[in-house]
Chains A and B, each alone.
Chain A
Amino acid sequence: MEVLERFAAGDSDAFECLFRQHQGEVYRWIIRIVRNSATAEDLTVETFWRIYRARARFDARKGNLCGWMRRIATNAALDHLRRSRREVELPEEMPDTGKPVSAEQNEMRQAIFQAMDRLSPAVRATVLLALVEEEPYENIAKALGISTTAVKLRVFRGVRVLRKELSNAGVRP
């Protein structure tokens, strides 16, 4: 029996095999939405927990495990963004570029973070994936379970809010 079929049948060794094979991929997707490594690690475990619980619903013959995992990972990340809006926001991580950050750049970052906080979690994730990570709209649509047109619409709405907020903060994009 294939690993996927054994996983769907509840075999824990098959689950471990899939976990080890896909944990990095799921983590890399989640960190692009939540932008914090500790949170992304927790959400990777949460995603696999959801996958484990939903294993009976996975059709091993139809296959697309990666798409299914990505969808579940996106939902876990969005749930986190919704929760963290009500709680204290974790500081956002910056990849180390080795360059010093000027006071002006720091101010700009603050203005952008505040503007991003104005976006709903779904719009924020879409804007991040589309404009910062430059993920193709089709991939974003599949991960969010919406149409490509809906992705474009969310990006449009997000950009409109960002421009307004940045303009209020004295930044002219």
Chain B
Amino acid sequence: MSEREMEELKRLLKESMPAMQDAELRRDLWPAMQQRLAEPAIHMPWWDWALLAAAGAVIFLFPAIVPALLYHL
């Protein structure tokens, strides 16, 4: 691709999507940040823990099902 073609493509791009260099932040984002910080960390409901424990117990008690599980996954 020649220099001229590259410049032409640049011109087309810039005409359709002008540079955003002068875009300024129009509001203070600190309140939004504080809200984000106050959000609780991902909460896992108790029944998910119970299911996980049950699955772990089954695998521990019946390890022979592991290959079968892997085969079906």
Residues in chain A within 8 A of chain B (CB atoms): 16, 19-20, 23-24, 27-28, 31-32, 35, 37, 40-41, 44-45, 48-49, 52, 92, 94-95, 97, 105, 108-109, 112-113, 116, 127-128, 131-134, 159-160, 162-163, 166, 171, 173
- Complex CA gap A119/B30 in Å reads 34
Residues of B within 8 A of A37 (CB): 23, 26
B15 at the interface (CB under 8 A from A): yes
| Chain A, Cβ-Cβ closest to B12 | A173
Query: Which residues on the B side are within 8 Å of A52 (C-beta)?
Result: 37
Contact A20-B30, Cβ < 8 Å, known A31-B23, A112-B17? yes
Q: A37-B26, A173-B5, A173-B9 are in contact. Are A94 and B15 (CB under 8 A)?
A: no
A49–B33 CB distance below 8 A: yes
Contact pick for A23, options B15, B23, B29, B36, CB 8 Å = B29
A131-B33 in contact (CB<8A): no
Inter-chain contacts of A108 with B (CB < 8 A): 12, 15-16
Residues of A within 8 A of B24 (CB): 24, 28
Interface residues on B, range: 20 to 34
Nearest chain B CB to A31 CB, angstrom units: 5
Q: For chain A, what secondary structure do more than half of its interface residues adopt (helix, strand, loop), or is it mixed?
A: helix
Considering residues B5, B14, B21, which has the most beta carbons from chain A within 10 angstroms of its beta carbon? B21
Q: Which residues does chain B contribute within 8 Å of A163, judged by CB atoms?
A: 1, 5, 9
Q: Do B26 and A132 touch across chains, with their CB atoms under 8 A apart?
A: no
Which of B1-31 touch A at CB < 8 Å?
A: 1, 5-6, 8-10, 12-30
14 contacts between A and B (CB under 8 A): A23-B28, A24-B24, A24-B25, A27-B23, A28-B21, A94-B17, A109-B16, A113-B16, A132-B18, A133-B19, A162-B9, A171-B12, A173-B9, A173-B12
